[in-house]
Amino acid sequence: MPLAADDPTTRCTSGALAALDADLICAPVFTDEGPENLRGLDAALGGSIGRARASGEITGKTYELFFTDVTDPTWRTRRVLLVGAGASERYDTTRARTVAGAAGMAARDRRARRVVFVCRAPGESPEMAQAAVEGILLGAFRDTRFKSEDSGSAPLKAVDLFFRQDAQSQTRAAVERGVLLAGCSNIARELSNEPGNLLTPRVFADRARELVSGPHTTVEVLDEQAIASQGMGLLQGVAQGSVEPPRVIVMRYEPENAAPGPVLGLVGKGVTFDSGGISIKPADGMERMKRDMAGGGAVVCAMRAIGRLTPSIRVIGVVPTAENMPGGRAIRPGDVLTAANGKRVEVLNTDAEGRLILGDALTLAQRLGATHLVDIATLTGACVVALGHHASGLLGAPAAWVESVRQVADRAGERMWPLPMFEEYAEQLQSETADLTNTGGRPGGAITAGMFLKTFSGGLPWAHLDIAGTAWYETTQPFHTKGATGVGVRTLAALAFEAAW
């Protein structure tokens, strides 16, 4: 299926709101502001804001929506949406992004094609403007590729960010960056939404070629023979139960005149469908296992963004992709596999397959020259139990590198929470048969999965992002539709610029 329609035309504008020709003007409104702050707009709306404030219909509570008509005949736009933004002192980039997301969702639901978003103080800095445009485009996203009938909800055609004064060059650049990152995040959402019968490992590899290849980025795909030559026995073991052959997607970003220095290695789990293998999953909810490549999709789309944003450091992206199926050739509990780094792994549970393919991919990233590693995966249900759906799990070493990743994620609006990695957790992976087992049991399951991956980090700075709870919204949020989130794209792309090396 084709991916990602063209992004809407986006621009920064100022002057008079009355002169803007759009289907909808959207503006945040705060709980702690008086009517005088919106007096000009209220006059154009025939006093409806004041009346709604007086009646309690508008309070400024977060994500509250209030639609009203423009009565001033000189205004070109005839409809206005006010979105509750809470207290102005708490209006940071995260709040700006979600408030704008609520506006984008509402605009799309009401078939508005041309939208103006008013960047009111304190939302006029470059960072706030970037967050706002990201929110609008993420909120307006709909994946209708598999609908045979027109849903009546057309995509946005144009988005104007309105400022009191002309936007400076830094703000315009930030808005362009936000458009790119939101677009790449939406592509990742489409990849995660795609059914496993259509997005097989070979198709996934082809998509990566289309999405990432560019002036400074190359894509190489390792087939079965190349995978075998790298000794990637863990990946081979996971893939052998499926009729679909595995692939490894290797993406390289080489800036012009790249100087010797850090090389960022991004590794993403790309299981295009996870049945659990012989340790088969329950039928209830198994259809969601098409999203088990969300980490790999995030790496592919982050590499797409990096190639267009052109940071000064080199970046390598590695996505091992396979199906985990219970075929006649599938690995069994008790089997022993040999990893690319020579470690032998006793498989106690074939549903703990993501860490297996990531282990080999981390080794490959080191062979290709990565000096700093980040892997991302929908890895464990245990992380969902620990953190729910509001934060991704973060593990790694050393502490300074983990904290650097956390700070970058926080600035990107993708909340992550560190989990401990005490050496005692590694004892749960001891095997009487091999070097280690692929699961440490239920206690501390997210942490022991991280301890398994640490075995393959080569002692390099390494961070593991467990997005099992954040890659998918189970219900519609005020600022985001149900379904894939594209989590990780913004963080991984920002690491190429902002990480503390």
| Through-space distance between the first and last CA atoms of the chain, rounded to whole angstroms | 39
Q: Which of 114, 355, 406, 490 is catalytic?
A: 355
> Hey, which CATH number is domain 9-140, 1.10.1200.10, 3.40.220.10, 3.30.70.270, 3.30.565.10?
3.40.220.10
Q: What is the pLDDT of residues 356-393, one digit of tens each?
A: 999 999 999 999 999 999 999 999 999 999 999 999 99
Q: Where are the domains of the chain?
A: 9-140, 190-498
Q: Say how far apart CA 119 and CA 206 lie, in whole Å.
A: 40
Q: Which of 142, 281, 288, 415 is catalytic?
A: 281
Dihedral of alpha carbons 68, 72, 73, 74, sign = negative
Q: Say how far apart CA 243 and CA 371 lie, in whole Å.
A: 35
With a cut of 50, list the residues of the chain below it in pLDDT: 1-2, 5
**Total number of residues shown for the chain:** 501
Strands (E) across 314-427 are located at 314-324, 336-338, 344-346, 372-377, 392-397, 416-418
Architecture of domain 190-498: 3-Layer(aba) Sandwich (3.40)
Half-sphere exposure in the Cβ direction for 410 (13 Å, CA): 10
Q: What is the pLDDT of residues 71-90, one digit of tens each?
A: 999 999 999 999 999 999 99
> How is residue 291 annotated by DSSP?
G
The confidence score (pLDDT) of residue 347 equals 98
Identify whether 147 is a catalytic site residue.
Answer: no
Is the N-terminal amide bond of 311 cis, ω within 30° of 0? no
Cα-based distances in Å from 464 to 253, 395, 404, 444, 451: 21, 5, 13, 15, 10
If DSSP codes are grouped into helix, strand and coil, which group holds residue 482? coil
How many other C-beta atoms can be found within 10 angstroms of the C-beta atom of residue 6?
8
Q: Say how far apart CA 440 and CA 391 lie, in whole Å.
A: 23
Helix (H) / strand (E) containing 273: strand 270-274
The confidence score (pLDDT) of residue 1 equals 46
The confidence score (pLDDT) of residue 7 equals 80
Comparing CA positions, the residue from 30, 438, 7 lying closest to residue 235 is 438
The confidence score (pLDDT) of residue 373 equals 98
Q: In what order do the strands lie in the sheet with 344-346?
A: 336-338, 344-346, 436-437
- Tokens for 236? 């081979």
The confidence score (pLDDT) of residue 458 equals 97
Comparing CA positions, the residue from 395, 294, 434 lying closest to residue 354 is 294
The confidence score (pLDDT) of residue 491 equals 98
Average pLDDT across the chain, whole number? 95
Strands 344-346 and 436-437: parallel
Identify whether 290 is a catalytic site residue.
Answer: no
pLDDT > 70: percent of the chain:
98
